[in-house]
């Protein structure tokens, strides 16, 4: 499956299903005499998650998926012909969660589909076409310790928890795209993608909530006449006992939206960039990232309705996270991290607080132990404290999250 394993940042499977177990043990490959290969890979993860909200004493205990969903992936690799290697991947994510608040039946949170893409590899690099993890923000989430844990939660019944999404970085998300990645050039590699634009409508602007705001529909997207563009540049090198990787990536898109308050049509421009680094040396691992955005919204862009105020003016945000850990004997990773995301109010919101989205800063501190019992079994114990602060000086919302669980991979 060389063509698929060369898909730099093509999907979370490279860092999740495969990295969890180790590439040599993570896939089941069946080959034929004609040179075609078929393989399957994936994971089942399950956690006991207990949350306590300090300001109201609310407790909740759930048994559920963590930040990663379960994955079951199907891969096809064709034999090399005329210098080209063609492959494809489709995966499904059947949730292990029980029924939700809205659906207590056995079908609650039953299924997601995140990946369906083809790759063409050659001396020119790689072309990827289909649905896969986006470029912007991908390094940030792939290197986050909570990728294999739980991290932040919103007390809801979503397919997965949040990890550090919106608490230190924007979400890369799973996006329909056409992408080109260059060959490795002495450690440098660049990727460019034309992506299906993200809708920024139904702005929930004046609702005051530490979680998702309420749907009041002041702004709604009417046209997405241009695609979204994403780019990523990385440099990687290694030495005996250590390695270094640095990256810079960004995205831009625009869409037209109708504004209920003014009765006019406005262009909503969304831009973002991020930089970061990972350093490994003598068992120690360090990750540091920073980002800025405009017209993206709260919770790492998941709450895209908060990208603008009720007048269609883009909100600005920024954030970072730092993470340090030590890997014992290559099997037990002890790590701690801190990060935060901040969303500014517009000038209109400052002058009209009754129409303002109130959440200002989301922060998260996490300590975790991630132990590989075998190449196919990872056990996890994690503690996180998340906090939301508000522009209105309302009482901070603090939540303690304790999770115990793990992964079975193949």
Question: Which domains occur in the chain, in start order?
Answer: 2-409 (2.40.160.10)
Please, what is the average pLDDT of the chain? 86
Answer for the pair 318, 311: CB distance below 8 angstroms, yes or no: no
Does residue 176 surpass a pLDDT of 90?
yes
Strand segments (E) across 161-227: 174-181, 188-195, 219-223
Answer for the pair 357, 373: CB distance below 8 angstroms, yes or no: no
* Res 261: pLDDT: 77
* Res 122: pLDDT: 97
Residue 346: φ, ψ to 5°:
-80, 170
Q: Which secondary structure element, helix H or strand E, spans residue 277, and what is its range?
A: strand 265-281
Q: At 181, list the tokens.
A: 């990645």
pLDDT, tens only, 289-321: 999 999 999 999 988 788 888 888 999 999 999
Q: At 235, list the tokens.
A: 């440099």
Residues paired with residue 278 on neighbouring β-strands, in sequence order:
245, 287
* Res 123: pLDDT: 97
Identify the DSSP state of 6. Answer: T
pLDDT bracket for residue 26 (50, 70, 90): very low
pLDDT, tens only, 339-381: 999 999 999 999 998 888 889 999 999 999 999 999 999 999 9
Q: Where are the alpha helices (DSSP H) in 72-191?
A: 138-142
Give the CA distances from residue 313 to residues 257, 296, 352, in Å, rounded to whole numbers and listed in that order: 11, 11, 14
Question: Hey, what long-range contacts does 371-375 have (CB within 8 A, 24 or more apart)?
Answer: 371/331, 371/332, 371/333, 372/331, 372/332, 375/21, 375/22, 375/24, 375/25, 375/26, 375/409
DSSP line for 379-390: EEEEEEEEEEEE
Q: What is the rounded distance in angstroms from the CA atom of residue 86 to the CA atom of residue 3?
A: 7
Q: What is the rounded distance in angstroms from the CA atom of residue 234 to the CA atom of residue 140?
A: 13
pLDDT bracket for residue 165 (50, 70, 90): very high
Q: Name the maximum alpha-carbon separation found in the chain.
A: 71
Among 34-48, 258-272, 325-339, 369-383, the range scoring the smallest mean pLDDT is 258-272
* Res 380: pLDDT: 98
Residues paired with residue 227 on neighbouring β-strands, in sequence order:
none
CA-closest candidate to residue 339, choices 370, 362, 358, 367: 362
Strand segments (E) across 4-133: 28-31, 37-53, 58-64, 71-77, 85-94, 111-122, 125-133
pTM of the entire predicted model: 0.88
Give the CA distances from residue 63 to residues 18, 50, 327, in Å, rounded to whole numbers and listed in that order: 24, 9, 28
Residue 209: φ, ψ to 5°:
-160, 140
Higher pLDDT pick, 202 / 32: 32
Residues paired with residue 77 on neighbouring β-strands, in sequence order:
37, 87
């Amino acid at each position: 499956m060389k063509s698929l394993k060369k898909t730099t940042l093509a999907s979370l499977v490279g860092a999740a299903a495969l990295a969890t177990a180790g590439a040599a043990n993570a896939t089941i490959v069946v080959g034929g005499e004609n040179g075609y290969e078929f393989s399957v890979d994936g994971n089942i993860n399950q956690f006991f998650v207990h949350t306590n909200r300090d300001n109201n004493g609310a407790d909740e205990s759930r048994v559920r998926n963590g930040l990663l969903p379960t994955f079951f992936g199907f891969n096809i690799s064709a034999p090399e012909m005329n210098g080209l290697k063609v492959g494809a991947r489709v995966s499904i994510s059947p949730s292990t969660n029980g029924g939700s608040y809205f659906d207590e039946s056995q079908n609650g949170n039953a299924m997601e589909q995140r990946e369906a893409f083809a790759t063409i590899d050659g001396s020119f690099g790689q072309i990827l076409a289909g649905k896969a993890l986006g470029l912007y923000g991908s390094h940030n989430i792939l290197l986050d310790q909570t990728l294999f844990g739980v991290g932040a939660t919103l007390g809801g019944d979503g397919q997965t928890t949040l990890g550090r999404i919106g608490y230190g970085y924007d979400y890369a998300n799973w996006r329909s795209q056409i992408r080109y990645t260059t060959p490795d050039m002495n450690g440098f590699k660049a990727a460019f993608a034309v992506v299906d634009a993200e809708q920024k409508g139904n702005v929930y602007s004046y609702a005051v909530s530490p979680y998702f705001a309420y749907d009041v529909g002041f702004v709604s997207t009417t046209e997405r006449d241009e695609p979204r563009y994403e780019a990523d540049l990385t440099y990687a090198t290694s030495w005996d006992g250590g390695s270094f990787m640095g990256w810079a990536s960004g995205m831009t898109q625009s869409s037209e939206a109708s504004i209920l308050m003014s009765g006019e049509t406005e262009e909503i421009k969304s831009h973002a960039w991020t930089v970061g680094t990972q350093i490994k040396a003598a068992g120690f691992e360090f990750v540091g990232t920073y980002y800025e955005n405009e017209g993206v919204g709260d919770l790492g862009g998941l709450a895209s309705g908060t990208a603008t105020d009720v007048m269609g003016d883009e909100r600005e945000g920024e954030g970072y996270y730092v993470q340090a850990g030590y890997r014992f004997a290559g099997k037990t990773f002890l790590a701690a991290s801190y990060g935060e995301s901040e969303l500014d109010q517009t000038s209109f919101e400052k002058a009209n607080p009754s129409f303002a989205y109130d959440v200002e800063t989301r922060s998260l501190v996490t300590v975790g132990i991630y132990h590989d019992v075998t190449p196919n079994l990872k056990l996890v114990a994690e503690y996180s404290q998340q906090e939301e602060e508000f522009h209105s000086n309302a009482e901070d919302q603090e939540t303690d999250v304790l999770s115990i669980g793990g992964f079975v991979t193949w």
